[in-house]
Structure 1
Amino acid sequence: MTALNDTNDTNPKSSQSRLIKTVNSARVFLKLLGVFLPYSIRLLRIRIGTIYHNLTYKPVDSPKNVIVVGGSFAGVQVANWLANAVPLGHRVVLVEKNSHFNYLFAFPRYAVVAGYERGAFIPYEDILGDAVKKGSLLRIRSEALTATATQLLLADGQAIDYAYLIIATGSSQSPPAKWISTGREGACDEMRSTQRSVSKASRIVVLGSGAVGVEIAADIKTYFPDKYVTLFSSRNVVMPQFGRKLQIDVADTLKQIGVVVRYNTRPKALPDRKSIQLPDGTTEEYDFVLSCTGQTPNSALLNALAPQAISKQTGRILVKPTLQLQPADDFSFPNIFALGDVAEHGGPRMARAVFMQAGIVRDNILGLIKGRSPSQQYLPHVWIEGAIQVTVGKNKSFAYMPGDNGTDMLFAGAGYPDDFNIAHGWRLVGANYPGHGKLS
């Protein structure tokens, strides 16, 4: 009877709790409406514009180039949107060294679970094919070395003139966050090599407690319960870039599944990948070491042209709210933009944020082409753009939305299937997943 009374509708505490939940839900709805309504209007405008563009665009000889450097989430999104909007006489050129779009979110899972590797690499033709066919987009597989005021110089010797330059080069990370090979087959071989090392090892250490480190450590432990898995965090928490709610629940889940977390220690992985060196100089031996630490912004493209535009603190490219290069006293390049992980834009470094930024860059470049001053500014909505979904083993996941003063929200859910919902990943970038075993 007492238990029933505790949850009865007449219980003041229960009523107050429901009221708080209702108010919070209303706040979330209004916040979502404030972000997604204008974003949805922009998407509708883009889709209508694409239909018109398909009917009217004709390629010309010697077009003015809008070059996008980098073919990950930021680069692909802005290249696609611009290629379906640039006026006659202009063309988008996407420069990317990888043969396929790398779906990075699946990499930690595929470093542990075999059989799905090829699905993490999406053909660019499936993403950008329509724009390529009509001639408004040219994709060049090469590495961009440096930019001048008028040209982009490539590793294969090409020098491409540009009217506008968009830098979406992201950041560099070590495997398994990103792979060394630029071709799908080579990258798949790297994945399989890591899978074999994980399978053979009894004692495994993972360095770095961000999303990649947490996911791969938890996957190893839940797919191979008999293995001894240690995760090192340089801080006194895991997932240090996120809020306490997520940190606490992720740490508790790691403990429940048997991952040993060692805090406030930043070891160094030794070249043999079987030992680590602690800060005091001592070493520890394991069967396999996975390093999931550090990101280096790929901003070297501007080293010669505009070194002042690269932050000395972070190595990222300094930009205005319009996402144009931040000018200094001795240089100004209003036709150069940067977005995504390589840019110091003040927003989250997440895929959701680059979708917002891509729209800003698109609109501002189209405005410049038409002789107007850029009017669109990127104002981060951290609570939605900084949201994350993270798996902690094969049976559990968390969805997290950041907020101020305890307003962050955390939702626990089921784990992802073995293939990490790869069909959804393909749809996210506009491609159709042919199914496991049917990849060309």
Structure 2
Amino acid sequence: MSENGSGSGSENVSAGRATVAVVGGGYGGAAVAKALDGGTDVVLIEPKDAFVHSAGALRALVRPDWAANMFFPYDRLLSRGRVLRERASSVDPGGVTLASGGRIDADYLVLATGSDYAFPAKTETDSSAEALRRLRVAYDELTGAERVLILGAGPVGLELAGEIRAVWPAKRIVIVDPAPEVLPGFLPEVRADLLRQLAALDIELRLGVRLDEQPPGEPGRAKTFTVPTTPVGDLTAGLTADLTADIWFRCHGVRVNGGYLGDGRLTLPTPKGQVRVTDTLNVTGPAGPYAHVYALGDLTDVAEAKMAGHAMRHADVVARNILAQARGERATATYLPSPVPSALLPLGPGGGVGQLPDTEGGAGGAVPVPAPRVAAYKGADLFVGRFAELFGTA
């Protein structure tokens, strides 16, 4: 039975079975812990009081009645292993030192601490109750704002705009980004469909534009302001006017959660703060790859977009390798990132665009996903049902 609590002293779970310490209980960490639970002794180290389904955060902002659906308690995730509500302060080849001063010795280590992102895409707190309170405050502020400014035209900014429009048809929504195009690397027809849907939703997209100064006040707090803008590159027509809004949100800037690696006892992160891994997702240290230490998800230097789906596929590879090693076999499972970008990007519950690898054509290309399929696959419930099964709350 899994349990919440704090570790103290040096401990191992049981004799005769491999002990796996998983640092981080997000998408990849929770998935790998669940997969390893039957064949090893798993200790999942996670400071949050519940798993946060961050893909639901933007809908939680505009639908307070729905917001609780993005939190899943850890108490049913593991049947044999346990969950320590702790934070790692350091990791070395032999185990994890906890912020409380305790230590978990382990035969295998999995680093799965992911990344942080600006509110509301990430909740920025370890307490689910506090996260819900912050979302409710931001909802109240957003309710009274007539003009909304979103900084960043990536998937997060686009999805936030769609969620706001689904609840408030009359608000003016402007998305600003200095990039010259939206969804670079995606099929032209996918980008064209996105632009068509944004126009139909009356969401204004200003590309090739930067703000001359940051909006005053905190993101997610109502305060009317006007900021000047400057065109970037050749996209100059009609883009030099001042921009006035009543509330703004930052939808860019990922921060990798790897501070506990700063002492260099295990590995030295890249300049981006990521961990170098092999194709088997083993962490590379000063003397080469560790056979018993793995990393997955946003923390890794795998050359792909940092997405929950990728982290969960990493988890499958890591779990297969550790289980093989625990049986005395070689770790042979490898991860090969897709050569084409993929995403399902809802624009509210009923719209959106998508692109997935072409698994049937044989040419290694991509295929577009139309709005009805995006809504059916993701937009309708944002995969809540899938995570209810993972966490035993279905």
Same fold (TM over 0.5): yes
- Using the TM superposition, give the Cα deviation of residue 413 of structure 1 relative to its aligned residue in structure 2, in angstroms: 1.0
- Whole-angstrom CA distance in 2 between matches of 1:152 and 1:74: 18
Q: Alignment partner of 2:173: what SS?
A: strand
Q: Is 2:292 aligned against 1:321?
A: no
Aligned to 2:301: 344
Structure 2 gap segments, 5+ residues each: 1-12, 232-240
Name the aligned partner's letter for residue 26 of structure 2. Answer: S
Q: Alignment partner of 1:225: what SS?
A: coil
Superposed counterparts of 1:74-153, under 5 Å: 74-86=28-40, 91-128=41-78, 131=79, 136-153=80-97
- Whole-angstrom CA distance in 2 between matches of 1:432 and 1:339: 25
- Whole-angstrom CA distance in 2 between matches of 1:144 and 1:422: 29
Change (3 A) 1:320 1:407: closer
Which of these residues, 312, 325, 328, is aligned with residue 368 of structure 1? Answer: 325
- Whole-angstrom CA distance in 2 between matches of 1:407 and 1:116: 33
Name the aligned partner's letter for residue 319 of structure 1. Answer: V
- Whole-angstrom CA distance in 1 between matches of 2:117 and 2:226: 19
- Whole-angstrom CA distance in 1 between matches of 2:267 and 2:174: 42
Aligned to 1:408: 367
Superposed counterparts of 1:20-35, under 5 Å: none
Aligned to 1:186: 130
Which of these residues, 220, 225, 246, is aligned with residue 169 of structure 2? Answer: 225
Structure 1 gap segments, 5+ residues each: 1-58, 434-440
Q: Alignment partner of 1:334: what SS?
A: strand
Of residues 175-184 and 395-404 in structure 1, the stretch that sits farther from structure 2 once superposed is 395-404
- Using the TM superposition, give the Cα deviation of residue 334 of structure 1 relative to its aligned residue in structure 2, in angstroms: 2.5
Q: Alignment partner of 2:200: what SS?
A: helix
Which of these residues, 383, 388, 405, is aligned with residue 343 of structure 2? Answer: 388
Do the aligned partners of 1:116 and 1:419 also contact (CA within 8 Å) in 2? no
Higher Cα Rg, which structure: 1
- Using the TM superposition, give the Cα deviation of residue 193 of structure 1 relative to its aligned residue in structure 2, in angstroms: 1.1
Q: Which has the higher helix share?
A: 1
Aligned length in residues: 361
Q: Is 2:27 aligned against 1:73?
A: yes
Name the aligned partner's letter for residue 387 of structure 1. Answer: S
Change (3 A) 1:333 1:394: closer
Do the aligned partners of 2:116 and 2:124 also contact (CA within 8 Å) in 1? no
Change (3 A) 1:332 1:405: closer
Q: Is 2:191 aligned against 1:247?
A: yes
Name the aligned partner's letter for residue 424 of structure 1. Answer: G
Name the aligned partner's letter for residue 322 of structure 1. Answer: T
Structure number with greater CO (CA < 8 Å, separation at least 6) is 2
Do the aligned partners of 1:143 and 1:154 also contact (CA within 8 Å) in 2? yes
Aligned to 2:291: 334
Change (3 A) 1:271 1:167: farther
- Using the TM superposition, give the Cα deviation of residue 375 of structure 1 relative to its aligned residue in structure 2, in angstroms: 1.8
Name the aligned partner's letter for residue 275 of structure 2. Answer: I
- Using the TM superposition, give the Cα deviation of residue 215 of structure 1 relative to its aligned residue in structure 2, in angstroms: 1.2
